[in-house]
């Protein structure tokens, strides 16, 4: 263990280590390895942070890595975010950790524990009073790490149902973004895990729509749909014109305009008969400019070859996720409207060309009346960093679609 402690460094991620982190992400996709598209790897940290609009919606986003100094290799990573939510009726700064990965050759050596402890310290320094993690129920190794070694306790066991597309299902009514925001905010006002400001969710490019069913007596049930495929939605144009590839676009434009002007002079001198002057002009001005543009073009081609695979899969495995279920009206009619709402989601999955929709609900929720079976479960684990206590999430709590 001593050699490991001496050679492993836990530090904040630096962009110079981007390719090493990508290699780690790929290694976690075994047995497919390099043939596995990064867009399908859970928590592809670098590209998710750079080309997704989601990180900007959090108060803070951090990436901490473990690096083998002797081999100059990234061997582990964890992500952390800060957001402002309600707990026990009070507005608190809550941290979340996710995307923990350790290279298979370095597992069972305490590196995951070291990454988590460092991230906990960083999130506490950023103002978090407590931290939660969300893991799949079948990930027993992660559960043991968080509960046994890091002293987290379970606050919720959420069931997840996959809703398949079906064009024959009942068609739902779509409402405006402003109305959806108003009804969702009203329903989850100061409830546990509700964001202090949910408006950014409705203005995000990942927000698809909010659908409702209602009666003539103004009973209404609704739910919002979120595009959960993450990087599969990444624009290749945004990658190609990344500031690292075109750091000074105004210079690029200036050179292009200069070439047009030189081309104009070229034909002007031909028209006037100044052939000798024209040839000198080509050598002194045109050829260097063409060389510069060619180099820049080759840079873009290289970028396309390097990152193009991330855009190839953008139309595949489109996944949706529900959030912000709300109801307003007579309790006696809620069951009927909710059933119609869930049925209608199958049609909306087909209309939005989604492979499936993730529907998450509590094991004690009334939603269990509509789903006789579920596909898998997600466990929410929680740890307080101050003197406050929090026993668990009630049946009605807000599910953040960005999680």
Give the angle subtended at the CA of 51 by the CAs of 79 and 323, to the nearest 5°.
70
Range of lowest pLDDT (147-151, 270-274, 313-317): 313-317
Longest dimension (CA), the chain: 93
Give the residue from 241, 289, 228, 245 showing the smallest Cα distance to 263: 289
Q: For 133-138, what is the mean pLDDT?
A: 88
Q: How far apart are CA 78 and CA 144, in angstroms?
A: 17
Q: How far apart are CA 391 and CA 115, in angstroms?
A: 26
pLDDT tens digits, residue range 358-369?
998 887 667 777
| pLDDT value at residue 19 | 75
- Contact present, 106 and 10 (Cβ < 8 Å): no
Report whether pLDDT(136) > 70: yes
| pLDDT value at residue 78 | 92
| pLDDT value at residue 182 | 96
Token pair for 369: 């009346």
Range of lowest pLDDT (12-26, 73-87, 118-132, 304-318): 304-318
Number of Cβ within 10 Å of residue 48's Cβ equals 23
Report whether pLDDT(55) > 70: no
Report whether pLDDT(295) > 80: no
Q: How far apart are CA 379 and CA 139, in angstroms?
A: 10
Q: How far apart are CA 279 and CA 266, in angstroms?
A: 9
What CATH code is assigned to 2-128? Answer: 3.40.630.30
| pLDDT value at residue 234 | 47
pLDDT tens digits, residue range 223-265?
999 987 654 444 445 544 544 444 455 566 666 677 677 667 7
Report whether pLDDT(336) > 60: yes
Q: Which residue has the higher pLDDT, 309 or 77?
A: 77
3 state SS of 164 = coil
Token pair for 17: 């280590």
- Contact present, 83 and 195 (Cβ < 8 Å): yes
What percent of the chain clears pLDDT 90, i.e. is strictly above it? 34
The H-or-E segment that residue 220 falls in is strand 220-227
Domain 161-232+315-377 sits in CATH 3.40.630.30: yes
| pLDDT value at residue 33 | 37
Give the residue from 159, 129, 132 showing the smallest Cα distance to 147: 132
Q: For 32-36, what is the mean pLDDT?
A: 39
- Angle between helix axes 249-272 and 287-312 (nearest 10 degrees) is 140
Q: What is the pTM of this model?
A: 0.73
| Cα 173 to the center of its chain, rounded Å | 28
Report whether pLDDT(321) > 80: yes
pLDDT tens digits, residue range 150-196?
999 998 888 888 898 988 888 899 999 999 999 999 999 999 899 99
Burial class (CB in 10 A: 0-12, 13-18, 19+), 162: middle
- Contact present, 84 and 195 (Cβ < 8 Å): yes
Please name the residue that has the structure tokens 């075994």: 30
What percent of the chain clears pLDDT 70, i.e. is strictly above it? 69
- Contact present, 17 and 75 (Cβ < 8 Å): no
Q: Which backbone phi and psi does 179 adopt, to 5 degrees?
A: -65, -40
Which residues belong to CATH 3.40.630.30 in the chain? 2-128, 161-232+315-377
């Amino acid at each position: 263990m001593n050699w490991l402690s001496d050679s492993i460094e836990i530090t904040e991620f630096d962009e110079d280590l981007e390719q090493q982190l990508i290699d780690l992400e790929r290694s976690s996709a075994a047995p497919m390895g390099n043939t596995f598209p990064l867009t399908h790897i859970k928590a592809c940290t670098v590209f998710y942070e750079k080309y997704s609009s989601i990180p900007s919606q959090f108060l803070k986003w951090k990436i901490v890595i473990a690096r083998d100094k002797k081999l100059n290799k990234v061997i582990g990573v964890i992500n952390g975010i800060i957001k402002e939510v309600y707990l026990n009726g009070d507005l608190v700064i809550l941290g979340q950790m996710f995307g923990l990965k350790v290279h298979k050759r370095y597992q069972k050596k305490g590196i995951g524990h070291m990454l988590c402890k460092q991230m906990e310290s960083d999130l506490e320094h950023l103002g978090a009073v407590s931290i939660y993690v969300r893991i799949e129920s079948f990930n027993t190794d992660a559960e043991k790490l968080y509960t046994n070694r890091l002293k987290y306790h379970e606050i919720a066991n959420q069931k997840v149902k996959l809703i398949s597309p079906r064009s024959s299902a009942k068609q739902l009514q779509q409402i405006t973004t402003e109305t959806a925001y108003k009804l969702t905010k009203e329903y989850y006002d100061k409830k546990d895990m509700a964001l202090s400001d949910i408006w950014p969710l409705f203005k995000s490019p990942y927000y698809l729509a909010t659908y409702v069913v209602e009666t003539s007596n103004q009973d209404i049930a609704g739910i919002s749909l979120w595009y959960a495929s993450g990087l599969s939605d990444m624009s290749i144009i945004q990658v190609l014109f990344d500031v690292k590839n075109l750091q000074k676009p105004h210079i690029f434009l200036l050179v292009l305009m200069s070439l047009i002007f030189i081309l104009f002079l070229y034909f002007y001198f031909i028209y006037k008969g100044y052939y000798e002057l024209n040839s000198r002009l080509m050598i002194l001005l045109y050829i260097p400019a063409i060389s510069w543009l060619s180099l820049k073009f080759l840079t873009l081609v290289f970028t396309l070859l390097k990152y193009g695979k991330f855009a190839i899969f953008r139309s595949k495995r489109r996944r949706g996720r529900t959030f912000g279920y709300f109801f307003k009206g007579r309790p006696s009619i809620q069951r009927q409207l909710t059933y119609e709402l869930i049925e209608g989601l199958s049609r909306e999955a087909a209309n939005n060309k989604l492979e499936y929709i993730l529907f998450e609900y509590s094991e004690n929720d009334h939603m269990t009346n509509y789903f006789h079976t579920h596909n898998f479960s997600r466990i929410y684990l929680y740890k307080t960093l101050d003197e406050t206590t929090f026993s668990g999430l009630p049946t009605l709590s807000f599910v953040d679609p960005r999680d």
